């Protein structure tokens, strides 16, 4: 499975993770690694090829990030994208100059050589540019494969070594045929056959887990979400009765959440499931608290305390499994001393295992979200679990703005359930990335029957996104929104107004708190 490894050296590009996704789509395993990985380590990993990402720096700046210079003549196929191309050309004596203006957006690419990278590629096509510097002279070391009006050296190939460069970004959707370029590089240059399939991942991961866990027991924390559910199903396939699943019902869950977890893991998988009813403890701890960060801190600390108490009841437990995904590791600064800025500290990475004294197991840490869903289906999880929208760790507490009370949670839970049910009925649930209701800390005047009302406002939030780093609001049909609003107002006591959030991320975030 991993004998066809592609390494992606990260120079700080906002698209580095997207490059990895595109390579995985070709059924080739890849890993995003720090840009200055020594040649010795690269040779240990035995990659079929290397991709150099773009980046915000200029190769002419002092201290600009560079790869190990021995890579250039290692014989390993290399594809440099944007900054990566400039780095390659500069390493062989070429000239990289600052453009008169930053080129950002679509350009028309004319292919001059349809061999290797551009085999089967249109002679003219649209590509996406995003750069300030560009290559002005390749010092006679590189052949020109393609050009644009403003960028004569838009794609190049070294005359002696298997080194290619692209000034544009083949990994983004704005380059419609970019996947063909990557496929040609992987297949024809690197010799990859595309054998990285989910079934092979299951077989190899199960074997590794059995060897690692041995006769010990492993605890898996369930949240009801996709990642933890798939993680639990994979562990159950590997070591069955040695797995103890702990689900903490914080009282901040969506409607039917606890029942779905019970049905899936106790009834379906016959797992050793421990359901901890802790709703009153969490509500008591949150009494009078309005600040969002304080809510998160209280919930996080109490969750660890409750989880620890239950975990101590499980004998011979040595390991703790988490559903950490590949983007979680990247976003949490997996290359923290590299050029890419750390985006966030993800709640799955670090903290909990050290608090509890267990050894950490993260069987999903090489996978992206779409791959985890495929894995869930491969393991036999119900589709209603596999395709669930993401749900924040603090639960409904960060969708109930202001103080969290049992009454507010009941209102929010009902409204949220109606919204999701209508999305399912209309076929829109699978067409959106995340949808939920938010209870606003305001009241509005309304008229119901012959009487005046002064009640709560529900805001509906629904977004489309590939990676959750950026997101756009979903253009739901007007009749669907009207139906949702009518049902919520008619069926949820205490609501007399429904609004729809049309903010994108950025500048807004997906969640309200």
Annotated binding residues, written as ranges, equal 223-229
Instruction: Pick the closest to residue 29 from 189, 192, 184 (CA basis).
Output: 192
* 44-55 mean pLDDT: 94
Q: 269-285 pLDDT, tens per residue?
A: 889 999 999 999 999 99
pLDDT at residue 99, rounded to an integer: 65
Report yes or no on 511 lying in a domain. no
Residue 417 has pLDDT above 90, yes or no: yes
Same domain, 287 and 334: yes
- Give the residue, 347 or 309, on which the prediction is more confident: 309
User: What are the binding residues for ATP?
Assistant: 223-229
The full 3-state SS of 131-197, as one line of letters, equals EEEEEEECCCCEEEEEECCCCCCCEEEECCCCEEEECCCCCCCCCCCHHHHHHHHHHHHCCCCCCCC
Average pLDDT, the chain: 89
Say what the pLDDT of residue 474 is: 97
Q: Say what the pTM is.
A: 0.76
Assign 353 a pLDDT band (cuts: 50, 70, 90): low
Name every residue whose Cβ is closer than 8 Å to that of residue 440 and which is 6 or more positions away in sequence: 401, 456, 457, 458, 459
Q: Which CATH number goes with the domain that contains 424?
A: 3.30.300.10
Using the structure block, give the residue that is written with the tokens 């500290």.
Answer: 345
- Predicted local distance difference test score (pLDDT) of residue 332: 39
Q: How many domains does the chain fold into?
A: 3
Domain containing 116 equals 6-189
Per-residue pLDDT tens over the stretch 310-346: 999 999 899 999 888 766 665 434 443 444 333 223 3
Domain CATH number, residue 230: 3.40.50.620
pLDDT surpassing 70 at residue 216: yes
In this structure, the answer to whether residues 283 and 361 fall within a common structural domain is yes
Lowest mean pLDDT among 172-186, 334-348, 419-433: 334-348
Strand order in the sheet with 243-249: 272-277, 243-249, 217-222, 317-321, 359-361
Alpha helices in 240-291 (DSSP H): 257-261, 279-286
- What is the layout of strands, in order, in the sheet containing 95-111? 30-34, 6-10, 49-52, 78-81, 163-166, 155-158, 142-147, 95-111, 124-137
Q: Is the dihedral of CA 390, 393, 396, 397 positive or negative?
A: negative
Question: Using omega within 30 degrees of 0 as the cis cutoff, is the peptide bond preceding 58 cis?
Answer: no
pLDDT band at 453 (very low <50, low <70, confident <90, very high): confident
Q: Please tell me the predicted confidence (pLDDT) of residue 334.
A: 42
Is the pLDDT at 130 greater than 80, yes or no?
no
Q: Are residues 39 and 126 in the same domain?
A: yes
**Does one domain contain both 75 and 204?**
no
Same domain, 314 and 430: no
Q: Which residue, 65, 89, 204, 73, is CA-closest to 151?
A: 89
> Which span out of 96-105, 125-134, 312-321 was modeled with the highest average pLDDT?
312-321
Bridge partners for 7 per DSSP: 31, 50
> Between these two residues, 390 and 429, which has the higher pLDDT value?
429
Please indicate, yes or no, if residue 510 is contained in any of the structural domains. Answer: no
In a domain? residue 112: yes
Same domain, 262 and 343: yes
Give the per-residue pLDDT at 345: 30
Residues 177 and 206 reside in one and the same domain = no
Report pLDDT for 200.
83
Predicted confidence at residue 487, as pLDDT, reads: 97
195-205 average pLDDT score: 87
Whether the predicted pLDDT of 352 surpasses 60? no
Catalytic residue list: 82, 169, 171
d(CA 193, CA 189) in angstroms, rounded, equals 11
Average pLDDT, stretch 62-70?
93
Q: Band the pLDDT of 139: cuts 50, 70, 90.
A: confident
Contact 162, 77 (CB under 8 A): yes
Phi/psi of residue 243, each to 5°? -95, 130
Number of residues that this document lists for the chain = 513
Other beta carbons within 10 angstroms of residue 92's beta carbon come to 18
Same domain, 345 and 479: no
* Residue 467: per-residue pLDDT: 66
Looking at the structure, tell me whether residues 275 and 403 fall in a common domain: no
Q: Note whether 368 and 24 are within 8 A (CB).
A: yes
Q: pLDDT for 459-507, tens place per residue? A: 999 999 876 777 899 999 999 999 999 999 999 999 999 999 999 998 8
Are 47 and 75 members of one domain? yes
The percentage of residues in the chain with a pLDDT greater than 90, rounded to a whole number, is 65
Same-domain pairing of 291 and 368: yes
Same domain, yes or no, for 408 and 483? Answer: yes
Instruction: Work out the average pLDDT over 88-97.
Output: 92
Percentage of the chain with pLDDT > 70? 92
Are the C-beta atoms of residues 276 and 262 closer than 8 Å to each other?
no
Is the confidence at residue 457, as pLDDT, over 90?
Answer: yes
């Amino acid at each position: 499975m991993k004998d066809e490894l592609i390494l992606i050296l990260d120079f700080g590009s906002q698209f580095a993770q997207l490059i990895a996704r595109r390579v995985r789509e070709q059924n080739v395993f890849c890993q995003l690694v720090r840009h200055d990985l020594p040649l010795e380590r690269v040779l240990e990993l035995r990659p079929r090829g290397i991709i150099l990402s773009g980046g915000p720096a200029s190769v002419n700046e002092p201290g600009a990030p560079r790869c190990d210079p021995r890579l250039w003549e290692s014989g390993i196929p290399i594809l440099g994208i944007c900054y990566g191309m400039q780095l390659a050309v500069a390493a062989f004596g070429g000239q990289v100059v600052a453009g008169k203006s930053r080129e950002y957006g679509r350009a028309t690419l004319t292919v001059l050589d349809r061999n290797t990278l551009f085999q089967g590629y249109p002679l003219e096509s649209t590509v996406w540019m995003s750069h300030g510097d560009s290559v002005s002279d390749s010092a006679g070391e590189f052949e020109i494969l393609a050009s644009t009006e403003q960028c004569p050296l838009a794609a190049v190939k070294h005359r002696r070594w298997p080194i290619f460069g692209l000034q544009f970004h083949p990994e983004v959707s704005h380059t419609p045929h970019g996947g063909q370029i990557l496929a040609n590089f992987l297949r024809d240059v690197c010799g990859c056959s595309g054998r990285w399939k989910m079934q092979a991942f299951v077989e190899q991961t199960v074997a590794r887990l059995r060897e690692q866990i041995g006769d010990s027991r492993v605890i898996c924390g369930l949240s009801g979400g996709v990642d933890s559910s798939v993680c639990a199903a994979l562990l159950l396939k590997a070591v069955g009765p040695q797995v103890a699943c702990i689900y903490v019902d914080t009282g901040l869950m969506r409607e039917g959440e606890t029942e779905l977890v019970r049905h899936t893991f106790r009834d379906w998988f016959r797992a050793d499931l421990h359901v901890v009813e802790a709703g009153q403890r969490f509500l008591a701890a949150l009494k009078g608290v309005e600040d969002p960060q304080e809510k998160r801190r209280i919930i996080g600390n109490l969750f660890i305390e409750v989880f620890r108490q239950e975990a101590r009841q499980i004998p011979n437990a040595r390991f703790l499994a988490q559903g950490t995904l590949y983007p979680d590791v990247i976003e949490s600064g997996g290359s923290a001393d590299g050029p890419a800025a750390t985006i966030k500290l993800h709640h799955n990475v670090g903290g909990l295992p050290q608090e509890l004294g267990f050894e950490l197991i993260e069987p999903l840490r090489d996978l992206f979200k779409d791959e985890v869903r495929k894995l869930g289906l491969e393991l036999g999880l119900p589709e209603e679990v596999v395709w669930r929208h993401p749900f924040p760790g603090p639960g409904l507490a960060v969708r109930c703005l202001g103080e969290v009370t049992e009454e507010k949670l009941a209102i929010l839970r009902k409204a949220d359930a109606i919204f999701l049910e209508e999305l399912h009925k209309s076929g829109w649930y699978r067409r959106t990335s995340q949808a939920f209701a938010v209870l606003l800390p305001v009241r509005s005047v309304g008229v119901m029957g012959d009487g005046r009302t002064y009640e709560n406002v529900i805001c509906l939030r629904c977004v489309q996104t590939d990676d959750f780093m950026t997101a756009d609001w979903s253009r739901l049909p007007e009749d669907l929104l009207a139906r949702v609003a009518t049902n919520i107002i008619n069926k949820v006591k205490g609501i007399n107004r429904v609004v729809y959030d049309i903010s994108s991320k950025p500048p807004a975030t997906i969640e309200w708190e």
